[in-house]
Chains A and B, each alone.
Chain A
Amino acid sequence: MSVGGQPDQEYLNDNDDTVGRRSRILGGGGGGKGGRGRPEGRRAVVIAMISTVVFFGVIIVAVVNSAGWTVVKQTFFNGEQFRESFPGIARAFLVNVKLFLTAEVFILAFALLLAIMRSLPGPVFFPIRALSIGYVDLFRGIPTILVIYTLGFGAPALDLAGVPKSAEFWAVVSLVLVYSAYVAEVYRAGIESVHESQVSAARSLGLSRWQSLRFVVLPQAIRRVIPPLLNDFIGLQKDTALVSVLGVVEAARQAGIDNAATFNYTPFLATALLFVSITIPLTRFTDWLVARDRRRRQAGGVR
């Protein structure tokens, strides 16, 4: 399963790296030295370009000259197949988009509720905390596909009045249940990373516990966990392919159908490109958002 399950602490460190990332991509160890326009900066760019061309050139030449290349090219990189299957897969991909957008809205809200429940202090709230902890433990432990199977086939069979029976509906419910458990932990890491003195300051001004959380803790916590939230969002996007087990024809399923008809694997390539065409720009956009927020708060300041 492709869900982001790394330790939460790592997420937070990741956050601090976003600004320096661009220069590190080019400059390797010389972080920050390769300033734009300066001679050593231009030199670094030239070296990076040459090195990249040589590196990938060697790999491409090796692959293209391999014994089985013609056959592989026919079955995996077939231009004609690509053109034929792409429109259908793109249409099916809209189902994925609909699924992950709908699910993400509910995940962000439900997970926040879980995280807040878990952060309630004092013995009175023990049952609420226990409920939240139990939920997260359970749904992080069960493979997503099992939840999809169980709810997707089991829940409609219950014949509940007023509840939709469509596979897509229960697919979204399953994804929300599973991913909320992960995202709740991300939120919690963010909430715990806000120093206690911030709460003291807020409470000392007369703000209630809820107001302190709402205006002081959560805004800081959520800013800090935007990169890991995105991480889980990308995981969710990819896991919408699991929904195909319920018979929903989404992009991966459509590619499978095309593949079964033609014995050609190029449709899978088309599917992969569609997924990547969303995740990569989204990642860059998030990096930019985080960097902008940091710049606004810090850069250019007189110390």
Chain B
Amino acid sequence: MSEALRFEGVRKSFGKLEVLRGIDLAVAEHEVICLIGASGSGKSTMLRCVNLLEPIDAGRIMVEGVEITAPGVDTNAIRRRIGIVFQSFNLFPHMTVMRNVTLAPTKVLELSATDAADRARQLLDRFGLADKADEYPDRLSGGQQQRVAIVRALAMQPEVMLLDEVTSALDPELVAEVLDVIRELAAGGMTMLIATHEMGFAKDIASRVCFLDEGVILEQGPPAQIFSEPQQERTKQFLQRIIAAGRM
């Protein structure tokens, strides 16, 4: 299997606070990596760095062997290959669902309006949103909005998807519909990097789980190992807190 994504000694600070303190990780194609860890451990920052929404301070990030953090690279060209979905959906409220999904394909990939609409309709259909195409985001439930956000990212046909706690802002009863979408993506072979607090889901879907602690990947391995026999004391403590909170 070829390599989709690689972090090498990635460091990132916000002011005096060092959020990433040397991240090393290689992700193979079709792999689904779940990033777990407490809030502030650096999960979201890691994802935002891959999408170049945050410039890194040291190290390198490679996508399919090409360094994307090198100076002078075309950031827009890289971003269109990497989809990201945010915790707060961030749909464009002044556009219909259809327009949300077709905007980037028409403006960035320069698809014709009909081609983009066809592509959008296929995706909306696949994720049960066909009847919402002409609605505005404010009229959808949180779960529907997040599914639209996923469709919007998929419409660019990215090679890697980054999901940043995509269910954290949802009412509990809406979580499942979004997780189902992600499961389907995983089954379809999409390479994904998923920051999540849904441990049951991570156990279920991940090919590998990485436990982040204070800006480093403290421990990683297959879900069965991380969740049943964590090696590190910090990992055990974290999982115990999760269990105590009834989240697993």
- Tell me the residues in window 256-303 of chain A with beta carbons closer than 8 Å to chain B beta carbons: 296-298, 300-303
- Measured between beta carbons, the chain B residues less than 8 angstroms from A200 are 53, 86, 90
- Tell me the residues in window 193-228 of chain A with beta carbons closer than 8 Å to chain B beta carbons: 197-198, 200-208, 211, 215-216, 219-220, 223
Does B140 have its Cβ within 8 Å of any Cβ on chain A? yes
Q: Is A301 in contact with B140, judged by CB distance below 8 angstroms?
A: yes
Contact A203:B90 (CB < 8 A) given known A297-B138, A298-B136:
no
- Measured between beta carbons, the chain B residues less than 8 angstroms from A296 are 136
- Measured between beta carbons, the chain A residues less than 8 angstroms from B117 are none
Does B241 have its Cβ within 8 Å of any Cβ on chain A? no
Contact A206:B94 (CB < 8 A) given known A298-B136, A298-B138, A301-B140:
no
- Measured between beta carbons, the chain A residues less than 8 angstroms from B92 are 198, 201-202, 216, 220
Q: Is B136 in contact with A207, judged by CB distance below 8 angstroms?
A: no
Chain A, interface size category, equals 20 to 34
Contact A205:B139 (CB < 8 A) given known A197-B86, A197-B90, A219-B94:
no
- Measured between beta carbons, the chain A residues less than 8 angstroms from B135 are 301
Of B77, B84, B103, B140, the residue contacting A204 (CB under 8 A) is: B84
Q: How many A-B residue pairs have CB under 8 A?
A: 71
- Measured between beta carbons, the chain B residues less than 8 angstroms from A215 are 103, 107
Does B181 have its Cβ within 8 Å of any Cβ on chain A? no
Chain B, interface size category, equals 20 to 34
Query: Chain B 89-118, CB within 8 Å of chain A: the 1/0 string?
Result: 011111000000001100111000000000
Q: Is A205 in contact with B79, judged by CB distance below 8 angstroms?
A: yes
- Measured between beta carbons, the chain A residues less than 8 angstroms from B79 are 203-206
Contact A207:B90 (CB < 8 A) given known A298-B138, A300-B139:
no
- Measured between beta carbons, the chain A residues less than 8 angstroms from B76 are 206-208
Contact A197:B88 (CB < 8 A) given known A215-B103, A223-B94, A303-B141:
yes
Of B86, B108, B139, B152, the residue contacting A302 (CB under 8 A) is: B139
Q: Is A211 in contact with B107, judged by CB distance below 8 angstroms?
A: yes
- Measured between beta carbons, the chain A residues less than 8 angstroms from B182 are none
- Distance A150 CA – B104 CA, assembled complex (angstroms): 49
Distance to closest chain B CB from A212 (angstroms): 10
**Can you report 10 A-B residue pairs in the complex whose CB atoms are below 8 A from each other?**
A197-B90, A200-B53, A201-B90, A204-B83, A205-B104, A206-B79, A207-B107, A216-B92, A301-B139, A301-B140
Using CB atoms and an 8 Å cutoff, list the residues of chain A in contact with chain B: 197-198, 200-208, 211, 215-216, 219-220, 223, 296-298, 300-303
